[in-house]
Amino acid sequence: MTHPALLVLADGEVFEGEAAGAAAPVATGELVFNTALSGYQEVMTDPSYAGQVVAFTYPHIGSYGVNAADDESARVHCHGVVVRDLVPEPSNWRAEAALDGWLAARGVPAISGVDTRRLTRHLRDEGAMPCAFGTAPEAELRAAAARAKPTDGRDLVAAVTTRVAYVRGSGPLRIVAYDFGVKETMLRQLERLATVSVVPATTAAQDALALDPDGVFLSNGPGDPAALGGEISTIADLLGKVPVFGICLGHQLLCIALGGRTYKLAFGHHGSNHPVQRLVDGTVEITSQNHNYAVADVRDADVTHVNLNDGVIEGIRCRSAAAMSVQYHPEAGPGPHDARYLFAEFLEMLG
């Protein structure tokens, strides 16, 4: 039996739908849209979506079900899910469960039957914004949407980083990976290169260096990079002492540590088909992306990659230290995998 539900945006726009997933009279978060055609489970379990509600632009979500192998972390991090059609019966040999039941079991509310085309156009024109959805009366949802917080100025890394260090892989080289919200696919790529010590986001530079790493990796993660002053100082202390490679939030933090700054995009980059040009030879890579913030300028570094849709800086390489980073996700699971060569370049940096 379905129950009517409403999605109310902070600007007052209202969308009708039906409650799905976990029962919740009111759920709130910053609403963003994702244009990927597949990978919904990876999106929902990506720690980078902490504090956000994800609206999928692809109309049919859940068609191939879910399975444990596709989790990017141990739990769902987004605050909720908005879809046009939540497929009740998956059809795929890998499926272990249907998406609706999987969401309910993990306490994640959803709303289906939403006109996601109209919703996406609205967010494209007005920008990502807080929202509230659920089965509560419209007046209650409006009040909740007005109170809901955006990601601006918030340290959301503290809620997703590991509490204790752990080790992955067993290679002869050693990498210290800062967990700002690291994804499972990132760790799989890194452990092919080396023994990886995954450490909490607040780990001091001297403690990371005490592990005698051949390199340091800066992971993806949620929230506003400018709010992470301690982590930025740590990265500045590491530069010049050990090779550094950053992805997504790690890219932003590295650029700030080098003297740059970041800003919030109107509706972010969330999807799996963003064209990025590698400036050294003009090659265009198709990339997976998930970020609300971007680097405005860089110092002591050369821009190596740019987004062909809007010119956003997508990659840099430091001039005075062995350090590089990219805004997009070369590890992306599911693909594209055009940029996985970057892990080989990191391996070369490790010497």
Active-site annotation, residues: 248, 329, 331
Run of H or E residues at 177: strand 174-179
CB 127 within 8 A of CB 266: yes
DSSP annotation string for 11-26 = TS-EEEEEEEES--S-
Strands 244-247 and 60-61: unpaired
CB 270 within 8 A of CB 288: no
Among 46, 32, 40, which residue's Cα sits nearest to residue 58? 40
CB 99 within 8 A of CB 110: no
Among 327, 325, 323, which residue's Cα sits nearest to residue 312? 327
Q: Structure tokens of 164? A: 């204790």
Q: Structure tokens of 20? A: 């799905």
